Structure 1
Amino acid sequence: MSGPRKNVGILLPPAVAYSPRILEGLMRHPQIHQKCMVIECPHFEPGRSPLLPGASALDAAIVWAEPRDHWVHDLIAQGTRILSCGAEWDGTPGVASVYFDRPEMHRMVIDHLKSLGLRTAVGMGHKLGLRPASRRLLEGFAEMARGEGIDAQVWSLEGEGSPAMAPGRLLQAHAEHQLADFLRTLKLPAAMLCASDQMAVIVCEVAARQGLRVPEDVVVIGESDNPLAATTRPPLTSIAGNAVALGETAAVVLIDWLAGGAPPSQPVIISGARLVARESSTGRSESVAIERVRRLIERDAVRGISLAELVAASGLSTKTMVRHYRAAFGVDPIDEVNRLRLAEAKRLLVSGPSKVAEVAASCGFSSPAAFNNYFRRHAGCSPSAYQQAAAGVSESAL
């Protein structure tokens, strides 16, 4: 490539955490500095061109754009070489695509959900009716998850203002009634894989307003590992593509294309994603193993799960598992099992005319005698005495 320097536009949304990383990777290529004039034109709103009317023609542009961004077609008509960082422009003449290996990212998420014992998941994007490629990718996630025994579906957040590109939507989470209605339909516990960290923050906020706990009821996973992810409450688990490698590859493609070569006939796929596990999926322990134990206790405490079963689920030694669980939750795991089991037994004893034998069976005891001994040891009286005392209090209150 010789002659005057080529004008290369960086038409990326500044609110997307990948954008500065892509630019960092691009600028690592020495010929970009030598032969190109790199011009940043931030892209703030879908549908609106980031270029001013009458702007000089660009020789090439790196874009993060949606199908409704018709200005991309205008650039192509002007002879601008377009490199898309997403799948939405695949197959468009004049466009080369370099984007993340989504199946790799989805496999990491599914393995994470399986390690937590989750069996319900949702892939969530924004305005998927206008973004068919994004919908197909999320449907691929759902299909992959179903193949692993996870009941998965795809759901689209509507409304103007993509959370990733219009962070002001974070300040209006109280108005996300559509999302609140959807969360109420979910079989819990469930996981929400969100198209951005900003979207994941909104899910956390709306879930809390619905009385749902993150991650106990709803595991929330974002994308891009935005600085927001580590500082929000709870800190977000996030899956992040290798955006620097994407920028480096984009530079190689553009330099060759600007020198007269042909653009790649197929998308260039960038691997090397990473999953950063934080509290929105692992809980306060920030340990998958300990969160798995906590979920097992919450689900099976009433039947009287044993320490050996908890240790087996964690994959840790007994001493390590107990120490980490106590550090995260301030209580020994078996003490928590006993607390939950006893609480359920007390609830059943006072909630109706249940016989002690029926309560014993409901709480997983092999016999009324075993239940009687357990209840005396932990409650200080027999189940019958507790039931009678509770009935006496109820009658005296009438």
Structure 2
Amino acid sequence: MYVQTIEGALAARGYTPVLCSTTPAVLENEYIDVLLERGVDGLIFICGRHANTEVDHGRYHDLRAMGIPLVCINGWLPDLDAPFLSVDDVDVTRMAVDHLIDLGHVRIGAVMGPSRYSTTRRKIAGYELGTRDLAQMPGTELVVNSVFSGEGGNAAMQVLLDRDVTAVVCGSDLMALGAIRAVRGHGLEVPDDVSVIGYDDSPMLSFTDPPLTTVQQDVSGISRQAVEALMDEMSGGQQPRHELLFSAQLVVRGSTGPCHVRPTRPRDQDCGSAVQGLVSPLPSGVVDPFGPGNGVSSAGAASRSALLT
């Protein structure tokens, strides 16, 4: 989503954007080496290693020491000399929980990505903020960390269904679609039995069955500001070094509805022992494509050269 807007804004200013999407096979640092060899004028990182709290961030500091302008989207490193722009994950996740509470839900779970990412931690903080006054919630929050994928959402939702949740907030749209699959696999319906909220407002979500209620980021605003910041840095200016937080909105569609309490099923342990930060047992063949050494999404670069990927 960010890429298209940033590409257009850079092209309008006479720059040729070079897109580099990280994968387990091609890591962020490898792309940085290639981009430096090609003489890029600046870098925009979108949900990259800067959002991973368990990796070394020295490469970013090296880039700044070399005088390479850079801008980071979604993730913050307080000691890095660069502009940062992020979605206010705490506030919008709290907003999603408030929506479910307004619908009468109390047993609200959270299906989130790996806890090593600062964006995940912020979403969990927003979830905790939203659920803190629910008298019937268990002592520990119903938070399950899993993989950013449909399979990960499915596996995490299996855990939460055993704890009789009636609603769930997910860390991505793919995870939400996986959660819906798990709900249906239990013979239940969305939203009649379980309400599901996604995150990202990916294209075509209004055409899913049911249309997915989800968080819509201010992609246009963040992208435009990121390009403005990069242009300013490249011309010798200096953008603010504090993190700029952008509001998001909840797009309500058909995957959330009033709470209809389901009969509880016998289980081996009380739901009050629901875990926080649990990486749920994933089905055979489900792997984390974004291991501890990888970025989450992509790094973008602006260059006056005619390089295309």
TM-score norm. by structure 2 comes to 0.69
Q: Does 1:51 align with 2:40?
A: no
Whole-angstrom CA distance in 2 between matches of 1:101 and 1:132: 12
1:142 to partner: Cα distance? 1.5
**What secondary structure sits across from 1:51 in the alignment?**
helix
Contact 1:142–1:154 at 8 Å: present in 2 too?
A: no
Q: Partner of 1:39 in structure 2? A: 18
Q: Does 1:140 align with 2:121?
A: no
Larger radius of gyration: 1
1:97 to partner: Cα distance? 1.2
Contact 1:47–1:69 at 8 Å: present in 2 too?
A: no
Whole-angstrom CA distance in 2 between matches of 1:24 and 1:208: 36
Q: Give a deviation string over 1:13-71, Cα, whole Å, max 9, x none.
A: xxxxx324xx4267447xx7336442222334497227275442433211121427969
1:277 is aligned, of 252, 261, 286, to 252
- Greater per-residue helix proportion: 1
CA 1:34 to 1:231, structure 2 compared with 1: closer, same or farther past 3 Å?
closer
CA 1:214 to 1:276, structure 2 compared with 1: closer, same or farther past 3 Å?
same
Whole-angstrom CA distance in 2 between matches of 1:196 and 1:226: 9
Q: Does 1:215 align with 2:191?
A: yes
Q: Partner of 1:85 in structure 2? A: 73
1:86 to partner: Cα distance? 0.9
Q: Give a deviation string over 1:218-277, Cα, whole Å, max 9, x none.
A: 211001111242222222111111110001111221122112222422101112x22222
Aligned residues: 250
Q: Which amino acid aligns with 1:82?
A: L
Contact 2:2–2:223 at 8 Å: present in 1 too?
A: no
Q: Partner of 1:61 in structure 2? A: 43
Where in structure 2 are there 5+ consecutive unaligned residues?
A: 263-309
CA 1:37 to 1:203, structure 2 compared with 1: closer, same or farther past 3 Å?
same
Whole-angstrom CA distance in 1 between matches of 2:15 and 2:22: 20
Whole-angstrom CA distance in 1 between matches of 2:158 and 2:206: 24
**What secondary structure sits across from 2:224 in the alignment?**
helix
Contact 2:109–2:165 at 8 Å: present in 1 too?
A: no
Q: Give a deviation string over 1:337-392, Cα, whole Å, max 9, x none.
A: xxxxxxxxxxxxxxxxxxxxxxxxxxxxxxxxxxxxxxxxxxxxxxxxxxxxxxxx
Whole-angstrom CA distance in 2 between matches of 1:246 and 1:34: 17
1:212 to partner: Cα distance? 2.9
1:208 to partner: Cα distance? 1.3
1:188 to partner: Cα distance? 3.5
CA 1:238 to 1:45, structure 2 compared with 1: closer, same or farther past 3 Å?
farther
Whole-angstrom CA distance in 1 between matches of 2:26 and 2:114: 13
TM-score norm. by structure 1 comes to 0.55
Where in structure 1 are there 5+ consecutive unaligned residues?
A: 1-17, 164-169, 283-291, 301-398
**What secondary structure sits across from 2:214 in the alignment?**
strand
Whole-angstrom CA distance in 1 between matches of 2:144 and 2:156: 11
Matches within 5 A, 1:165-184: 170=150, 176-177=154-155, 179-184=157-162
Q: Partner of 1:252 in structure 2? A: 228
What CA RMSD, in Å, does the superposition of the two structures yield over aligned residues?
3.2
Whole-angstrom CA distance in 2 between matches of 1:180 and 1:206: 6
Q: Partner of 2:219 in structure 1? A: 243
**What secondary structure sits across from 1:147 in the alignment?**
coil
Q: Give a deviation string over 1:278-331, Cα, whole Å, max 9, x none.
A: 22113xxxxxxxxx4xx4xx569xxxxxxxxxxxxxxxxxxxxxxxxxxxxxxx
Q: Which amino acid aligns with 1:201?
A: L
1:93 to partner: Cα distance? 1.5
Whole-angstrom CA distance in 1 between matches of 2:40 and 2:144: 37
Contact 2:91–2:126 at 8 Å: present in 1 too?
A: no
Q: Partner of 1:197 in structure 2? A: 173
1:217 to partner: Cα distance? 2.5
**What secondary structure sits across from 1:227 in the alignment?**
coil
Q: Give a deviation string over 1:60-116, Cα, whole Å, max 9, x none.
A: 2111214279697435423333322112x3214234210112243124313311221
Deviates more, 1:38-47 or 1:97-106: 38-47
Q: State the identity as a percent.
A: 21
CA 1:178 to 1:141, structure 2 compared with 1: closer, same or farther past 3 Å?
closer
Whole-angstrom CA distance in 2 between matches of 1:56 and 1:68: 29
Q: Give a deviation string over 1:142-184, Cα, whole Å, max 9, x none.
A: 22332366735432014xxx32xxxxxx4x57x9545423421
Q: Does 1:157 align with 2:146?
A: yes
Deviates more, 1:59-68 or 1:241-250: 59-68
CA 1:40 to 1:132, structure 2 compared with 1: closer, same or farther past 3 Å?
closer
